[in-house]
Every structure is written in structure tokens, then in C-alpha cells.
Amino acid sequence: MTKIVSAAASLVDLPVETVRTDAVQAFVKQETIVVDLHTDDGLSGTGYSYTIGTGGRAVLSMLRDHLLPLLEGRDARDIEAAWRELFATTRATTVGAITSLALAAVDTALWDLRCLRAGEPLWRLAGGFRRAVPVYDTEGGWLHLPTDDLVRGALAAKEAGLCGVKLKIGRPRPEEDAARIAAVRAAVGPELDIMVDANQSMTYAEAKRRAHLLEPYGVCFFEEPLPADDVQGHRERSRRRARCGRAGNRLGPRCHVRPASGLVRERFSGKWWPGEGSLRNLPSLTLSGTRKAEMNA
Ligand SMILES: [Mg+2]
């Protein structure tokens, strides 16, 4: 047994130098919730989750008042059992981000302990599929940036050897979005991938209209055109074989994940992936084995 002897949570506000905006919100600060777990064999595991400005203190209270006391005395190796016990005690509030963010911080701390004990990085314990992945830049594409800055950022990403850039869309007039994407494409040429992200701000009809305007510029994928819970809208996109959609990275609770994963069964034509910040637990991220079967149930 590797007993958890103490568990603590803290919150760090990270103010931003420049307020970033997308189609639906402003990123004013990052509330980083940190969980530290110490075991009787001398290891310390750290996990974290975050918000982009609100709700972090509620997550902290959930951890301090309810979840962390349940971890003390447990065997740190039984990650799945720990997660399930904590989840079971929070059923009354599990529909939503607060509980999911709290559970995610605990889950990553337990996995950090497992990796430290094994002396292996997480990517290898999670399956070890590949040693390198292509990387794109999403920092230079915020909606408040003038077009010249978008172009400058995209050229810098290309120069740095990145595979692409992701640009926010959702300006009041669709033609504005199109002009911004056109300027970037003209500057970088055909070799750099351009993705767009509407941050769940559109109806299906609006997303279709904007996607049509962007077609000449070779957009690689269209991230979150619709609200995550607009199952009917996603079904419509799927039925009409709408191009290059991605959805789901704000999904956390199972009540959200299950209807969304149902769209995969209905051959949703884009990609679906669970929320990285409010993930229900880490093995879900790998979408492998029994976990995949459960999520698609
Ligand atoms: Mg996004």
C-alpha cells in the first residue's frame, strides 16, 4: 500500500497581460486550482485544473471541504477506485463544471504520483503511442487582434516550423471573418494549416453561412461552431455532411458526454473530443479499451 498521508488544495490567480477575447467571452485571468498529495513513501503528486476567470473558489471549496478529506488514508495506486468514490459522493452537484474541475485536479495528482513511482512520463503510461506530435499555434488568433497582428503571428508560426495556426472567428459581420482569414492565407501560402474556432457562438444556419464564406481559404477544421449541448444542431450538421467540424472540448460531466458520443455513432462528420480542462478522468482522454466502450454506451 502507498498511503496518502496528506492532501491540500490551493488557488493561484494568474492575471493576463492583455485581455484576450473570442466570440463569447474575455479571458481576464486564469484561476489555477492546484492539488498536492503526499504519500507515506515520500512522494508528492501535483495536479491542477483551471478556469478562465470565474468559479475557481467554488472548485477550491469543493476540494477542501468535501473531496480531499476522503483521500487521506487511501491507497494512491487505486486511481480508478478513488475517482469513483469521490464521484459518488458528489452526485448532487455533478452536473456541471465545478465538480468536474475538482475531480480533474485530484485525478491528475494521482496520475502524477503513479508516474513518479514508475519513473516514467505520463505519455508512456497512457499507452506510449508516439514520440512526437505536430503542433499548431492558437495564441496569435484572438478575436480582438487586428488583422495585421493575425498575419504577423501566422508568419511567425510558419517560421518556427509549426504545422498551422488557429484563428478565432465570430466578428459581427461574417465578411469581417472572411477578410481576416483571407489575409492570413495570402500571407502564409498553401503550406500552413489554418483552423478556425467560433467558441460555440453560432446556430447551425450561421455556422453554415460562415463556413461557406471561408471555403476559398482552405480551412483545415472549424472548431466548436455550435453550443456543446446543441445535439440537434450537431445532428443536422452530421446529416448534411457539413465539413470539418470539431466539438466537445467543454464537455465534462457524463450527462453531456453521452449524448455527444452518441453523435459519433451517428457518424458525425467531424471530430469529437472530451474537455481537457474538465475531463471526467484521465483514462477517458485516451479513449481506449473499456473506457471507450463505456463512453460510447
Ligand atoms: Mg476552442
- Summarised one tens digit per residue, pLDDT across range 240-263 is 765 555 665 555 555 555 555 555
The alpha carbon of 259 and the centre of ligand 1 are apart by a number of angstroms equal to 20
Ligand 1 centre from 181 Cα, in Å?
17
Tell me what pLDDT residue 18 has.
86
**Ligand 1 center to residue 209 CA distance, Å?**
19
Distance between CA atoms of 265 and 270, rounded to whole angstroms?
A: 12
Rounded mean pLDDT, 209-214: 94
Of 3.40.50.2000, 3.30.390.10, 1.10.240.10, 3.30.200.20, the CATH number of 4-123 is: 3.30.390.10
pLDDT higher at 86 or 262: 86
* 26-39 and 44-51 strand pairing: antiparallel
As given in the structure block, the three cell numbers for residue 208 are: 453554415
Q: What integer pLDDT is reported at residue 234 of this predicted model? A: 84
Least confident of 18-32, 110-124, 152-166: 18-32
pLDDT, residue 150, reads 97
The order of strands in the sheet holding 219-223 is 136-137, 164-168, 193-197, 219-223, 245-247, 271-272
Domain extents in the chain: 4-123, 136-295
Considering only CA atoms, which of 144, 266, 168, 178 is closest in space to residue 222? 168
Which ranges constitute the DSSP H helices of the chain? 56-62, 68-71, 79-89, 97-118, 122-125, 147-159, 174-188, 204-214, 231-239, 254-265, 282-286, 289-295
d(CA 38, CA 45) in angstroms, rounded, equals 7
Q: Give the per-residue pLDDT at 85.
A: 94
Q: Kindly give the distance from the C-alpha atom of residue 173 to the centroid of ligand 1, in angstroms, as a whole number.
A: 20
Whether 4-123 and 136-295 share one fold: the answer is no
Q: How far away, in angstroms, is 257 Cα from ligand 1 center?
A: 17
Distance 223 CA to ligand 1 centre (A): 6
User: Average pLDDT of the chain?
Assistant: 85
Backbone angles phi, psi at 26, to 5 degrees: -115, 140
Angle at 182 between CA 168 and CA 190, to 5 degrees: 100
Which of the four pLDDT bands, split at 50, 70 and 90, describes residue 92?
Answer: confident
Q: What is the mean pLDDT of residues 170-187?
A: 97
Mean pLDDT along residues 274-295: 43
For the chain, percent of residues with pLDDT exceeding 90:
66
**pLDDT tens-digit profile of 20-66?**
899 998 999 999 999 999 999 999 999 999 998 999 999 999 999 99
How far does the centroid of ligand 1 lie from the alpha carbon of residue 3, in Å? 38
CA of 224 to the centre of ligand 1 (A): 7
Please tell me the distance from the alpha carbon of residue 242 to that of residue 233, in angstroms, as a whole number: 11
Q: Of 12-26, 97-111, 226-240, which gets the smallest average pLDDT?
A: 226-240
pLDDT at residue 235, as a whole number: 84
Please answer whether residues 9 and 64 qualify as being in contact, where contact means their C-beta atoms are separated by less than 8 angstroms: yes
pTM: 0.78
pLDDT at 288: 37
Give the fold, CATH level 3, of 136-295: TIM Barrel (3.20.20)
Residues comprising the chain, all counted: 297
